[in-house]
Structure 1
Amino acid sequence: MTSINAFLLLGGVLLFVSVLASTLSARLGLPLLLLFLFVGMLAGEDGIGGIAFHDFSTAMLVGQLALAVILLDGGLRTRIETFRVALWPAAVLATWGVIGTALLLGLFATWLLDVHWSLALLLAAIVGSTDAAAVFSLLRNSGVRLNDRVKATLEIESGANDPMAILLVTVMVEVLLQPEAASGWRFAFLLVTQMGLGALAGVAGGWVLARLLARLRLAEGLYALLIVSGGLMIFSATNAINGSGFLAIYLAGLVVGNKRCHATEHVLRVMDGLAWLAQAGMFLILGLLVTPSHLLDNAGYALGMALFLMLVARPLAVWSGLLPFHFARNEVAYISWVGLRGAVPIVLAIYPVMMGVPNSILLFDVAFAVVLVSLLVQGATVPMAARLFRVVVPPRDEPVDRLEVWVGETAALDLLEYRVAAGSRAEGRHPDDLLDEEGSDAVRCVAVVRRGNLLRTTSGTRLAQGDSVWLAAPDELAERLAKAFAAGGAGNELTAHAGFFGEFVVDPHCPAGELAAAYGFELQEDEVELPLAVMFRRRLARPPVVGDKVSIGAFVLTVKEMDHAGHVTQMGLKCPSLPRLF
């Protein structure tokens, strides 16, 4: 009983310290996942805790369970609309990207480590895939808004590339232990089986879970448990039939998250905490597992591998994979840089150790060190690199909070919270007068909260700076309404974000020739009669996203707003700067 209490106390202390230290992580600009890893290392045998933990089987179990929960949460929060611009590019990076990275890195590792090519290729396969936990966490907490093409490509790639990495590691372990059983045909068969069964099981299982979620009436806390337990069933059952459980659980979450119902918000709230617990627990265990002194012994090899991976192998694989999709060079550069390595390579590095592969401890130590370098260098520079490579778009005007109240089987009421800013159009106005000015009958003021107290609204009520205003409004009006509460009169659409989108707002449906005649720029002969959006798409040569730009002489057209179907609804026009006369 004493040992059980000691174990629980240790686990609680480690997790508690890690969570409290998260504020320090934010101030230093370091990824929070790295902090969990360092706390585990400090508690390990070379750290102040002195805990000798070498149970690779337990670490593998915890790692797989945590990754399954993280991928499920990632799928739940991925909107199907993102697949419109990123499905095929991300699919190429999830397959060829992993293979190409592993081949290049394997050749380099053969020379650097002076080992047999098969062992070097195994190491390259271990660190060849990006990590869903790191990508989801860092992109969504980076503080910058990436353009949708880049963000969706990175997230879908990280959620879908684990099967390829696992397959490569499995095949290379077979090559080392049973070379007579390895063949190209077997690799192709395993690839089709893993991907096919994983996709089929994920979509079918997600559809069943979504139907159950919509039909069952449970206590609020049980909805998330239903999805987690169902997701783990799909994960383990798919693995049992030699499919990719990681792909299956990600797709199951995607299906459930996009078939919204009365229980979806309950699931997302609980899953947020479960995903953080999974990440923290996994990185703490992996930090305990490693011996820092061994990392120092192989630091030179690991640094060489990490630099080649970040600066050569990943960029070449990404560039060749995205070539057919006409990504801009700055987008390719940023996607190449944010090839974040995390828990997946460390978990994959455990597999050769458990299978008894020669020199597998060397592989584990080098893979762990590569992950540390990736999180320290790439993870800490995600926001800075986004600005450097110009893949940032101005932040949306959004509600402070939003709630979904389901009032029927298929009907939901959106409640949006806004904070009145100094100098906004809302300040000093009655809520009803402000909403009448917005011209929408679908919006109602539900409550006004002032200094933490509910304010009784009368005819003499005037909104003041700092008031929280709750509106019942369709979600598609959220951004438009936010402009009325933003500081400095930011609701003026003609001047908002003028430095990025341009000084003028133009209708994407107007004939391009009319705009050319009005502003005096030249078009190609076959573009004159085309709607502006069609002309823009033709010149861009890829599906547009907010922030995409096309130059027409000295003028620049920029996509400003899009609807959920992927149609451009508003464009900005930036005019050339006039020369100063004095």
Structure 2
Amino acid sequence: MDTSLIYQNLTIIAAFLLVYSLIAGRFESKLVNGPLLFLLAGALLGPGALNLFTLEIDNEGIKLLAELTLVIVLFSDAANTDWQVLRANRRLPIRLLLIGLPLTLVGGALLGRWLFPDLPLLELAILATILTPTDAALGQAVVSNPAVPAPIREGLNQESGLNDGICVPVILLLLALIAPTEQHQGTGALALSLMLEEIGIGLIVAVGLSHLTLWLLKLSYLNGWQLPLWRQLTLPGLALLSFALAQTLGGSGFIAAFVAGLLIGYRFGEHKHEYLDSCEGYGDLLSVVIWMVFGATMLPIMGSLLEWQYWLYALASLTLLRMLPVWLCLLGSGLTLELKLFVGWFGPRGLASIVFAVMVLQNKPALLGQEPIIKTVLCTILLSVILHGISANPWVNRLKRCRA
């Protein structure tokens, strides 16, 4: 990319961040949330409209940006897991993760079988897995508003923080099962090899680096070596190191970052927020760039997304495939019908789905159904950003009036 274009893009992003940081409260308390506004800004400023935000990033650049963003978000979400709150309100997230999530995966694959009959079942399972993780950032008004009952808030927040980490090994396994088998005895051997190598190495790296970091932090504290400014870089450094080292050794960097976040959050307890604020800030910054790039990319290709199967699957993914499993897993929970519908609806798709889609794009050899899978994912994310963005605050306000 030309140097002048790099500076032009940086100017656009920095100006947008500056303005939005000053007026965020005006927007996020109304109909438009952050990700939706970022997407709209990218679409308006990108090649499909004003052409001020010029995209000439190659596939590797997009992949790296998306991966680093997900690493920081995975680590932060895992580290922010409040184990006391989770134990106190464990029924909802446990039901959502252990019952609702598998039902969503199965339902997504079966619907794909009907809409895309020519695609292999494994590839349809990959599509379902890409669109299963939820993104709390798209429903921030829900997980941060005290008008929503605390068990519901915490349940949705913990589900969003954990389900993308759970889906990482699932998608790795599915990609392994469709990989070439010339160097292995069969797809089962390849899948087992990947599970042992990628997931195992990721776990080992996470445990080793987490314990080393905790020991170094204790040593630094006892000797008075810490400075407040540099302390803010400790956990972002651990997240990136876990990812990079695991990838270097042939493991899964996403699993390493997620597990490292879980371990650090558990060991730090109530003191973790002193270290996590900057990590969350970096994640938010990278997320803004991702959503702007997504918006700038989507507008020029909208003409290629007109197949009815893409949009029907997208609509079903946000409604039937999410809400029916949630309703089933909440039977006997004591929640009212409206709260069950509320929990079922607020399962927005976002960053994790984008990164999983990039992983599929980078997979060699290319999937037989790569084009319909990616286009269906794009339609679902776009629909989710719009519908969840404009429905969060009105439904929360309705709950507030009902409880008043």
| Aligned-residue offset at 1:271 | 3.3
Structure 1 residues 74 and 163: CA distance shift in structure 2, 3 A: closer
Q: Gaps spanning 5+ residues in structure 1: where?
A: 395-498, 501-582
Label 1:191 to 1:304 Cα distance change in 2 as closer, same or farther (>3 A). farther
2:105 equivalent in structure 1: 102
Work out whether 1:160 is the aligned partner of 2:165.
Answer: no
- Cross-structure match for 2:131: 127
Change (3 A) 1:207 1:330: farther
Question: Any idea what SS the aligned residue of 2:65 has?
Answer: helix
Q: CA deviation at 1:7?
A: 0.7
Per the TM alignment, residue 374 of structure 1 is displaced from its structure 2 partner at its CA by: 1.0
Matched, 1:173 2:161: no
Alpha carbons of structure 1 residues 352 and 223: separation in structure 2 relative to 1, 3 Å: same
In structure 2, relative to structure 1, the CA distance for the partners of 1:199 and 1:178 (3 Å cut) is closer
In the alignment, which residue of structure 2 is the partner of 1:308? 316
Give the match's secondary structure for 1:376.
helix
Alignment of 1:247 with 2:247, yes or no, is no
Q: Distance in 2 between matches of 1:197 and 1:332?
A: 39
Output one character per residue of 1:431-473: Cα deviation in whole Å (capped at 9) or x when no partner. Answer: xxxxxxxxxxxxxxxxxxxxxxxxxxxxxxxxxxxxxxxxxxx
Q: Residues 257 and 60 (structure 1 numbering): CA distance in 2 closer, same or farther, change over 3 Å? A: farther
Partner residue in 1 for 2:386: 376
Q: What is the CA-CA distance between 1:256 and the residue it aligns to?
A: 5.5
Q: How does 1:18-417 map to 2 (within 5 A)?
A: 18-21=17-20, 23=24, 25-26=27-28, 29-49=31-51, 51-53=54-56, 55-87=58-90, 89-118=92-121, 119-134=123-138, 137-140=140-143, 143-178=145-180, 181-183=186-188, 202=206, 205-206=209-210, 208-216=212-220, 217-238=225-246, 240=249, 242=251, 244-255=255-266, 257-258=268-269, 260=271, 265=274, 267-290=275-298, 292-294=300-302, 297-298=305-306, 300-323=308-331, 329-355=337-363, 356-386=366-396, 388=398, 390=399
Deviations 1:233-278 (A, max 9, x none): 22334554645234214314523652528xx53x344334323212
Q: How many residues align?
A: 387
Q: Indicate how the Cα distance of structure 1 residues 198 and 368 shifts in structure 2: closer, same or farther if over 3 A, else same.
A: same
Cα distance per residue 1:144-176 (max 9 Å; x no partner): 443232122212221221234333333443444
Matches within 5 A, 1:532-571: none
Aligned equivalents of 1:319, 1:177: Cα separation in 2: 36
Q: Could you give the per-residue CA deviations for residues 338-377 of structure 1, whole angstroms, max 9, x where no partner exists?
A: 1110011121112222222234233222211211111211
Deviation at 1:18, TM superposition (A): 4.7
Paired residue type of 2:187: A
Change (3 A) 1:381 1:207: farther
Cα distance in 2 for partners of 1:205, 1:190 equals 22
Q: How far off its partner does 1:323 sit?
A: 4.2
TM-score (norm 2): 0.80
Tell me, in whole angstroms, the C-alpha distance in 1 between the residues paired with 2:79 and 2:166.
22
Q: RMSD over aligned Cα, in angstroms? A: 3.6
Structure number with larger C-alpha Rg? 1
Q: Is the 8 A contact 1:345 1:367 kept in 2?
A: yes
Q: Which residue of 2 aligns with 1:488?
A: none
Q: Which amino acid aligns with 1:360?
A: Q
SS at match of 1:161: helix
CA contact (8 A) 2:92 2:152 kept: no
Unaligned runs of 5+ in 2: none
Whether the 8 Å contact between 2:165 and 2:258 is mirrored in structure 1 is: yes
Q: 1:40 & 1:284 partners in 2: Cα distance?
A: 4
1:65 deviation in Å?
0.8
1:534 matched residue in structure 2: none
What SS does structure 2 have at the residue aligned with 1:128? coil
| Distance in structure 2 (CA, Å) of the matches to 1:14 and 1:325 | 45
Structure 1, 212-221 or 154-163: larger mean CA deviation: 212-221
Cα drift, residue 306 of structure 1: 2.4
What secondary structure is seen at the aligned counterpart in 1 of 2:310? helix
The structure richer in helix per residue is: 2
CA distance in 1, matches of 2:330, 2:193: 26
- 8 Å Cα contact 1:138-1:382 kept in structure 2: yes
Structure 2 distance, partners of 1:60, 1:380, is 29
**Greater RCO, 1 or 2 (C-alpha within 8 Å, sep 6+):** 2
* 8 Å CA contact 2:141, 2:396 repeated in 1: no
In 2, distance between residues paired with 1:286 and 1:365?
13
Alignment check: 8 A CA contact 1:75 1:250 kept:
yes
TM-score, scaled to structure 1: 0.58
Q: Retained in 2: the 8 A contact 1:199–1:251? A: no
**How far does the alpha carbon of each residue in 1:549-582 deviate from its partner, in whole angstroms, 9 at most, with x for none?**
xxxxxxxxxxxxxxxxxxxxxxxxxxxxxxxxxx
